[in-house]
Amino acid sequence: MREDEKREFFRVHDHLLIEYRQISAEDFAKLKDFILHNSTQVIDKINEVYFKEEKESTSKNDQIYAYMQVINKKLDTIIDYLYKLQCGEAYHGLQTDVNISGAGLQFECDSPLQQGVYVELKVVIPVFPYPKITAICEVVRAQDLISSTIGRFGIALKFLVINEKDRDILINYIFVKEREYLRQKKETTS
Structural domains in the chain, CATH included, are 9-41+94-189 (2.40.10.220)
Who's near 128: CB < 8 A, 6+ residues apart? 44, 46, 70
Checking if the pLDDT of 167 tops 80, the result is: yes
- Mean pLDDT computed over every residue of the chain: 79
* Choice between 44 and 50, residue whose per-residue pLDDT is larger: 44
Q: Nearest to residue 16, comparing CAs of 113, 83, 97? A: 97
Checking if the pLDDT of 129 tops 80, the result is: no
Give the residue-averaged pLDDT of 134-160: 84
What's this model's pTM, rounded to 2 decimal places?
Answer: 0.68
Helix (DSSP H) and strand (DSSP E) numbers for the chain? 4, 6
pLDDT in tens, 81-92: 676 665 555 777
